[in-house]
Amino acid sequence: MADDASLLKTALYDFHLEMGAKMVPFAGHSMPIQYADSIMEATKHCRSAASLFDVSHMLGSSIRGKDAVAFTESLVVGDIKALKNGTGTLSLVTNEHGGIIDDTVVTKVTDEDIYIVLNGACSAKDQAHINAHLAEAKAKGMDVEFIVHSDRSLLAFQGPKAVDVLQPLCPGLDLDKLYFGMFTEATVDGKPVWLTRTGYTGEDGFEISLLKTDTVALAKKLLENPAARLCGLGARDSLRLEAGLCLYGNDLNDSIGPIEAGLTWTIGKSRRDACDFVGGDVIKKQLADGVDRRRVGLKVGKGAPARGGSKILDVDGAEVGEVTSGGFSPVLGENIAMGYVKKSLAKAGTELQVETRGRKSTAVTAKMPFVTCHYHRPSA
């Protein structure tokens, strides 16, 4: 465990302590894992009301310049050129072996301004990777810059009532018309913010990038509404697992590719012929030939929940894969997990077993998300 003195602190650190948070080391930061309520209670609250998360450990950054789109597309698998201004998408940064360096939300603010949020735990390697390719791009005469927003915080405000709490604080902005994946520069309670309709809980919600100096005041303002509560990383992990969303370092790493991870959809259709991004030659071959393993959801029998590293066995007891994330679902009231198995066993409904600390439990592959997700999209 990192020495407390070496951990970075977000702008809300003192506020977290005042609010009774239990702090833990996470991605090089001291972060709240939970507050007075249990992780189960906090998970259910986010699914029914509004929860405020400090996610300032994540790396907010921008790629800017006349060649911003072209440079971004050299690094990620998505079709960034096709995005309308003010919209974004989940994408993947890949290495030369076709493995995933990081998963990221890429937003095309304008043709010359790409806003990218990267995982905090990957910050050092992401910056090294981007800067190495940036040097090559500049040597070729490309007009592009990479900027890290070290003066900003990032809040996630999630849940079905988040929009009701936020709307009165955004005069002149109709949040009903800000659909999932959309971005706008806005004023919230008089403070300039970058507002994105996104999140990692499976619920409707927003990510709010703002100056560190404004963060405590806005957090307090949002929490004045009785529907809103602070929420820690413990419940955030339960929420993203229920929503079938990957956690980098658990479900994704630099030896896992997009196709086996079930993230083929992130590869822009217009880019699949050329695959002109880092590792594209490997991924193009996998698109044509297939892969040997697949990420699957699992519903696990009673007993201790499966955890990352638990073995996945077939019905005869042969090892066929590994759990990468697992836990008890507060909403479903049962144990759930995700992991990788042989492709032949990936079909939903396949009976398997999970072995955790020498004890076996029944398991069955299940479609993800495990719960119904609620993203704000235009009416049909």
Do 225 and 306 belong together in one domain?
Answer: no
* Model confidence pLDDT, tens digit, residues 175-233: 999 999 999 999 999 999 999 999 999 999 999 999 999 999 999 999 999 999 999 99
Q: Is 291:260 a contact under the CB 8 Å cutoff?
A: yes
Domain range for 232 is: 4-58+151-242
The pLDDT of residue 3 is above 80: no
Measured from the Cβ of residue 2, the count of other Cβ atoms closer than 10 Å reads 12
User: What's the chain's average pLDDT?
Assistant: 98
Residue 72, in any domain of the structure: no
112 has binding-site annotation:
no
Domain count for the chain, please give it: 2
Q: Is residue 127 part of a domain?
A: no
CB under 8 A, 24+ apart: contacts of 29-33: 29/56, 29/57, 29/120, 30/4, 31/57, 31/232, 31/233, 32/230, 32/232, 32/233, 33/232, 33/233, 33/234
What CATH number is associated with residue 175?
A: 3.30.1360.120
Calculate mean pLDDT across residues 278-294: 98
- Is residue 269 assigned to a domain? no
Residue 64 placed within a domain: no
Q: What is the pLDDT of residue 1?
A: 42
Q: What is the pLDDT of residues 6-32, one digit of tens each?
A: 999 999 999 999 999 999 999 999 999
pLDDT-derived band at 379 (thresholds 50, 70, 90) equals confident
CATH code, domain with 329 = 2.40.30.110
Residues 237 and 311 in one domain: no
Q: Of 179, 209, 242, which residue is a domain's last?
A: 242
Assess if residue 104 is contained within a domain.
no
**Hey, which bits of 212-350 come out as E strands?**
228-230, 293-300, 311-313, 319-329, 334-342
pTM of the full predicted structure? 0.97
Q: Which of the pair, 217 or 357, is modelled with greater confidence?
A: 217
Q: Is the same domain home to 237 and 298?
A: no
Q: Please report the pLDDT score of residue 4 as a whole number.
A: 78
Tens digit of pLDDT for each residue in 136-184?
999 999 999 999 999 999 999 999 999 999 999 999 999 999 999 999 9
pLDDT digits 0-9 by tens, 105-124:
999 999 999 999 999 999 99
Looking at the structure, tell me whether residues 160 and 296 fall in a common domain: no
Is 255 a domain residue?
no
The pLDDT score that the predictor gives to residue 201 is 99
